[in-house]
Structure 1
Amino acid sequence: MKRLLAAAGKGVPGPKLPSAFSERVYTKNDWYIIHFGDLGKIHKAASLGQVRKLESMTVKKKSIDLNKRDAKKRTALHWACVNGHAEVVTFLVDRKCQLDVLDGESRTPLMKALQCQREACANILIDSGADVNAVDMYGNTPLHYAVYSENLSMVAKLLSHDAVVEVQNKASLTPLLLAIMKRSERIVEFLLTKNANANAVNEFKCIHQQLLKHIRKLSKNPQNTNPGKISDSKLLLVVLP
């Protein structure tokens, strides 16, 4: 497996960023450790889920900026999503806050909700029109985060709202290749039914027979709208143990 991980990182250009497929990139939340002395009132209330306090603040100060950023460019919506406060997310969305503000790592509130596995918050944002194709500093989209978390329902939700399935991050990983790296067979199979380009993984040396059998079946299925994308001769997948 180490040999395969090394192969995945060969094409990363530019400065020495953490591998866009490493666990730390997808799970680290260092920028959201709460130091209340560093937060404004609106950010503190959102991080604690204090929706009544937020309501009181907006009544007293009708001109309050719901999109105000803290020192690390995080908004109240970012804080609510990280901590899973769906009621606060609904409150902010209903008051027309900006949905796609980027924090200091170019992550939107939707990305943070998916990264922290806050599905209720993510659903609210997607249904409210949040950008499902935003890209963070590592080239990851919301779909990459859903795939990494192995959350099939969120993968399906994002795709139903026109998430692009072929985006490559800075390690040249599409969501499909990331799913293979995670050994998430259900998500791999699902992405293939959505016409993910299986040939994107052709730098790898081994073919997993179970997946290959499934792919051949899909390629012969008349309901598959793009069978030409599934090529046995070019498709190379990571072997699962």
Structure 2
Amino acid sequence: MLFAIISHNIDFVTFLMNEFNITIDLKFCADFNNLDSFLVYFDQTNEINISFIYSTIFSISSLSEYFLLNGANINEKNINGKTALHIAVEFNYKEIVELLISHGANINKKDNNGRTALHIATQYGYKEIIKLLISHGANINEKDKNGRTALHITTQYNYKEMAEFLISHGVKINEKDRFGQTALHVAAEFHSKEIAELLISNGSKINAKNIYGKTALYCAVEYHSKEIVELLLSHGAIINEKDKNGEIALHAAARNNSKEIAELLISHGAKINEKNINGKTTLHIAVELNYKEIVELLISHDANINEKDINGKTALHAAARINSKEIVELLISHGAINNALSRPSMNPYVITD
């Protein structure tokens, strides 16, 4: 059947349906713009609601209106929970969207992913449809299954103009998704600097934390967004704020081998010897990952070389464990104590596990 639909062989489509009772998949009719097969499906099944939903894909107003005038449920959903409005928006068919709205389509109906038509329009950046939906009562702060509003989505895709429009129409800037992320967190992760500036200028809480205790600054460091790190610092981001693992942004910079960002954070007062919940400083982390340049940077800014973690181990132990001769020598040359622990088995030159 799929081959018959793709090749637009309507006689073969009809034959398969009548002789072998093989059902036409309307999605394939839509995907391959096969209106004839679509009409055969309706003629043979008389399933008006599902036919109506998929009729929108052909962008023929009179076709969709025909189904409506003959009793189709305008808010009927397909297997994915999408209504005709969802589909019309997805294909950017403004005329069909207007038709559906004029016939009373529920603008805030959700699909199986909790998305309204507005969520879909913002994902694709359909400016005119976004305006149309909002002007007809779309809930601008509605959340999808992941707790994301239209602002979260438009920020992810870096649609600044859309973000400006949503803000001007009252979207909640500090609304959080299911992971506790505000739009500013999203901007930090997706390098959306202009939107980050827009959000901050409109009252975004710079030091808001997600469910992992991470601020937008931490996320910007984690995702290598140096420009956004600079932006957040210039607007008062708390540089030594800790996440749930007791880590500050400098820990993330060390873990990511982000030397430039680490230098930036240090120049703004990041605490080099701050420990996470395991008692590890940024030096411990940089050594464990064998990031020599980060180690050198931290040492040059007076990192405490002999600081111990909760297991009593220093950076030198970590260097020995990964068999990094270069870093071992570097640490010792800067004052690392090679018999930091009393038991011989804990001497860094003996550790093998």
TM-score, structure 2 length as denominator? 0.49
After TM superposition, give the deviation of residue 213 of structure 1 in Å. Answer: 4.8
- TM-superposition CA deviations, 1:91-138 (whole Å, max 9, x none): 112233211101111111111112222222222112222111111111
Instruction: State the secondary structure of the residue aligned to 2:306.
Output: helix
Tell me if the contact between 2:332 and 2:338 (Cα under 8 Å) persists in the aligned partners. Answer: no
The answer (yes or no) to whether the contact 2:188–2:220 under 8 Å persists in 1 is: yes
State whether structure 2 residue 279 is matched by structure 1 residue 186.
Answer: no
Moved more, 81-90 or 173-182: 81-90
Structure 2 residue matching 1:176: 3-state secondary structure: helix
Are 1:43 and 2:43 an aligned pair? no
Residue identity matched to 1:76: A
CA contact (8 A) 2:221 2:252 kept: yes
* Alignment of 1:169 onto 2:276: yes
SS in 2 for 1:74: coil
Q: Distance in 1 between matches of 2:178 and 2:325?
A: 51
**Gaps (5+ residues) in structure 1?**
1-34, 219-229
Q: CA–CA distance in 2 between the matches of 1:189 and 1:161?
A: 19
Q: Which amino acid aligns with 2:196?
A: V
Q: Which amino acid aligns with 1:120?
A: E
Name which structure has the greater RCO, CA cutoff 8 Å, separation 6+: 1
SS across alignment from 1:198: coil
Aligned letter for 1:153?
E
- Work out the CA distance in 2 between the residues paired with 1:50 and 1:148: 31
Stretch moving more, 116-125 or 184-193: 116-125
Indicate how the Cα distance of structure 1 residues 237 and 144 shifts in structure 2: closer, same or farther if over 3 A, else same.
Answer: farther
How far is 1:79 from its partner?
1.2
Distance in 2 between residues matched to 1:190 and 1:117, nearest whole Å? 18
Question: Are residue 56 (structure 1) and residue 193 (structure 2) matched?
Answer: no
The higher radius of gyration belongs to 2
Residues 12-91 of structure 1: pairs in structure 2 closer than 5 A: 37-38=144-145, 39-61=148-170, 64-91=171-198
What is the distance in 2 between the residues matched to 1:234 and 1:127? 43
Paired amino acid for 1:145: A
Shift of the alpha carbon at 1:156?
Answer: 0.5
AA paired with 2:187?
A: A
> What is the deviation of 1:184?
0.6
Aligned partners of 1:123 and 1:89: how far apart in 2? 11
Q: Does the aligned pair in 1 maintain the 2:250–2:265 contact within 8 Å?
A: yes
The alignment partner of 2:254 has SS state of helix
The 3 A distance-change label for structure 1 pair 213 and 68 is same
Report the identity percentage: 20
Residue 97 (1) aligns with residue 204 (2):
yes
Is this contact kept in 2: 1:208–1:237, CA < 8 A?
no
Q: Which residue of 2 aligns with 1:119?
A: 226
1:212–1:232 Cα contact (<8 Å) kept: no
Counterpart selection for 2:236 from 129, 132, 147: 129
TM-score by length of 1: 0.70
| Aligned equivalent of 2:55 | none
For the aligned residue pairs, the C-alpha RMSD in angstroms reads 2.6
TM-aligned CA deviation for residue 187 of structure 1: 0.7
1:157-190: CA deviation from partner (whole Å, max 9, x where unpaired): 0011111111111222110000000101111011
